[in-house]
Structure 1
C-alpha cells in the first residue's frame, strides 16, 4: 500500500509542478537555514579535530586583582603570571592535564622571513607548553612536539603546520631539523602537524613554540607578582572531576587572599569555564542565563521552521479544496477517511524528503561558499580573519549526520502537522459536497 501511495504521490508531483516546486523549495530553504545555524554551533561545541576533548576541557583565561581601598582602590584585569601558573595551577590534583599558554606581542605580531626573500608574511603563533599537545590531539605528519626540557632551556624550536611547511620548504617530508626565520631569529622545526581550522580557535595557529622563547616570559605585570598574560587549560576525566577542580582552585585562591590580604586580592569569577559555556560567553565575567539562551534558540527555530510550515499549510488547504471532487469520487467507491488521509500524508512526506535533500545541498553550499563570515554571524564580537588565512571547513564539520537528521525530523513533524490539519478539515465534508465542488 505504501508503494502505491508513493507512486500516486510522484504522479501528483508531476501533475502539479508549481505547487510541488514551491513546497520543495520552501521546505528546502527552511531546512537549509536551520542546518546552517545548527552546523555553526556544532563546529563551536562538538569534538572536532584537533579539539576532540572539548567535553572534558576547561579554560581559565582572566583574573581580577584589586589593590587599595575606597577612593584609592585599583583594579587590574588580565591573565596570570608564570609564577601563578607554577605555584597555583600546575600542581592541582583534580586534572589529568594542565597546560599554560602566553598571549603577548609576539603572538599578536610575528612575521616570517622566507629564505627566497619573497617578502615577509605574518603568521598566527601560539606560545605554549608540551602539555598543549596532550589536550589537543594533533596528527603529527613528521617529528614530534617539543619537550619539557626544551621549554625549560628556552630552545628556539617550533612545531609548524603542513601548509606552512609547504610554503617554507615546498614539502612536509624531511623538514624536521631545518630552520626558518621568524622576527629575524632562527627556529628549528621539531614537528609538522596537520593544521587546525581557523574555526577551532582554541587550537588554531600556524606555528607553535615554547613560551620560554618569548622575551620577558617570566615577568609579572603592574608590580603584582601573580598578574600576567598567561591562560590555563585543564583536561578532566568527567563532570565530577571538573567540579572538584573548581573547588580546589577556589580553595587555593582563598588561601592566597588570606596571605596577601594587606597587598591585594584576586578573583576569577566562575572560572574555569567549560568549553560549552565558553562558546556562548564573550568574556570571563559575563553572566550566562541558560533559560534566556534556550528561549532565544527556540524563537529562532520557530521563525525558521514554523513560519514556512504555516505558509505550506495555507498552500495545502488551497490544494485540498481543488481536490475535493477527487476525494468525493474515491469516498463514493468505498475509500475510508483514514485511507485518504494516509495518501495525503505520504504525498507530503515525499515532498518533504525532497525538500530535505535540497536543503542539505543548499546548507553545504552556503556554509562552504560563505565560510569566511557565516561562522561568526551569531557572535556579538566576531574576530577579524587574519590576512592570508583561509577558513577551512573539514568534512567532519559539514557532514554531521545527527545534526541533519534532527533538523529533518523536526521539519517533517511540522510539515506533517501543517498537512494534517487542512486535509482532516477537507475530508470531513460530506460526499455530496465533495462531488458537487467544482475545480
Structure 2
C-alpha cells in the first residue's frame, strides 16, 4: 500500500512541478530555521564536550537577599563558596570561578582586549577542557598563588601567531594581562559554553588583594558536582539548610536569602523569568513557550501549504470521482492524500537537514558568535523527522478531508 502511495505521489508531484517546487521551498525554509534554532538550544541547554559532566553538576550564579525596604541580587562572594558550600556533605567537588571580565594584554607593541576568569583547581577537574599543549593549574598552583595562566587557541594565535601554537612554543611564554604578569602553562581548545567561556584563565589566588576571601557577594559562580546524577536532588535539599545558615551569619541581616543550585536549563530559565525567590526555575514554562512559538512559526507556512494543497487536490476531482465510484471510502482517500503530503514533507525535511548542516557549518566558521561550535546530532535529526511528520499532517488533513467529501457525480464532471 505504501509503495502505491509513493508511486502515485511521485507522478502527481512531477505533473505540476511549479506547485511542487513552491511547496518544497516553503518546507525547506521552515525546516532550516526550526532545526538551526533546535541545534543551538540543544548545544546551550544540554552541552557535551567541555561540559560533558553537566548531568552530574549544578551551578549557582546569584544570591538574592531581601529585606523590607530593598532587594539585592548579586553574583556570589568567595566566602559563601569557601566557608559554606565546600562543607556540604552531598557534594563531591565544589568549584569557584569568576565571571569573564575584560582585561588588556600587552605583548611587545600590541594591546589586545581579552576575557579573563580566575578559577580554583576543582574547576579544571569538573570541566573537561581539551588540552592542546602544556597542562592546567593544579591545587599546588592555586594554594601557592603562582602566576600561571591557561589561554585558548584563538588567543594564542592572536598574540603569538598561528605557527607558535602548532609548534607548541606558547607554553613558557610570559604575558602581561590586566597589569599582572603570568607564565603560560597550557593552551586549550576554544569553547563557548557558559561556565567555560573565556580567553585566559588564572588561579583564583592571583587577585591583587585578599579582600575577596571575606565577601558574601562578589563576582563568583559556584559549580557543585555529585558522584552521580542521583545526588543532585540531595544537593538541592542540603543547600536549603546551608542558605539558612548564610542568612543568619550575614552581618547586614537580610530578612531572606535565596540561592538555588540549577541545571543548565533551570539556570537559563531562572535568569530569563526572574524566579529568584522561588524554587521553581520556570523551566517548564520556558520550554512550553519555545514549543508554542515553534508551532506558531510552523502554522504560517502550514496554512500556505493548505491553500496550495487544496488547489492541487481539486485538480484531481475526476480521479477522486472514479475512485469513489469504485467504492473507495472517505477514510481511504484522506489517508492517501495525507500520506502523499507527508512524503513530500519528508523529502523537504531531507533537503532541510542538508541545508541546516551547511548553515551550522557557516555559523561555526563565520565568527558571528565567538567560539561557536554546533553541529547536527542524532537528537536534532530526530526532531527534524518529527517536525516533518507534524508539518505534513497539519498541512494535509484539511484539504484531504475536504476532497474526500466531494460528490462522486460532480467530481467526475470536474466540478468541486
TM-score by length of 1: 0.81
2:185 matched residue in structure 1: 190
Corresponding residue for residue 49 of structure 1:
49
| In the alignment, structure 1 residue 84 sits paired with structure 2 residue 80 | yes
- Summarize the Cα distance change of 1:426–1:227 in structure 2 as closer, same or farther, 3 Å threshold: closer
Is 1:93 the counterpart of 2:83 in the alignment?
Answer: no
Say whether 1:276 aligns with 2:265.
Answer: yes
- What are the superposed Cα offsets for residues 239-272 of structure 1, whole Å, 9 maximum, x if unpaired? 54223223323323434544567x5248542412
1:412, CA displacement in angstroms?
A: 1.5
Aligned match of 1:391: 370
Separation (CA, whole Å) in 1 of partners of 2:5 and 2:368: 52
CA distance in 2 between partners of 1:257 and 1:346 (Å): 62
Separation in 1, partners of 2:215, 2:30: 55
TM-score by length of 2: 0.85
Whether contact under 8 Å (2:5, 2:336) holds in the other structure is yes
CA distance in 2, matches of 1:39, 1:90: 35
Question: Which residue does 1:126 correspond to in 2?
Answer: 117
1:349 equivalent in alignment to 2:342 = yes
SS in 2 for 1:110: strand
Gaps of 5+ in 2: none
**Match for 2:224 among 234, 239, 243?**
234
Higher helix share: 2
Gap change, CA 1:241 and 1:28, over 3 Å in 2: same
Task: Kindly indicate whether the alpha-carbon contact (under 8 Å) linking 1:100 and 1:129 is maintained by their aligned counterparts in 2.
Answer: yes
The yes-or-no answer on 1:420 pairing with 2:397 is: yes
DSSP 3-state at the match of 1:279: helix
Shift of 1:303: 1.1
Give, in angstroms, the shift of residue 122 of structure 1: 0.8
Instruction: Give the number of the structure with larger relative contact order, counting CA–CA contacts within 8 Å between residues 6 or more apart.
Output: 1
Distance 1:275 1:217, change over 3 A: farther
Q: Which residue of 2 aligns with 1:59?
A: 59
Task: Verify the 8 A CA contact 1:60 1:272 in the aligned structure 2.
Answer: yes
How many angstroms does 1:323 deviate by?
Answer: 0.5
After TM superposition, give the deviation of residue 402 of structure 1 in Å.
1.6
Q: Supply the distance in 1 between the matched residues of 2:76 and 2:387 (Cα, whole angstroms).
A: 46
- In the TM superposition, residue 406 of structure 1 has moved relative to its aligned partner by 1.9
**Per the alignment, do residues 101 and 389 of structure 1 end up closer, same or farther by CA in structure 2, a change over 3 Å counting?**
farther
User: C-alpha deviations, 1:360-415, integer Å up to 9, x for none?
Assistant: 34444555556799xxxxxxxxxxxxxx9852332xx2212322322432332342
CA contact (8 A) 1:101 1:129 kept: yes
Which residue of 130, 133, 136 maps to 1:139?
A: 130
- The RMSD of aligned alpha carbons is 3.2
Contact 2:80/2:246 (CA < 8 Å) preserved in 1?
Answer: no
Specify every segment of 5 or more residues in structure 1 that has no aligned partner in the other structure, as ranges.
Answer: 374-387
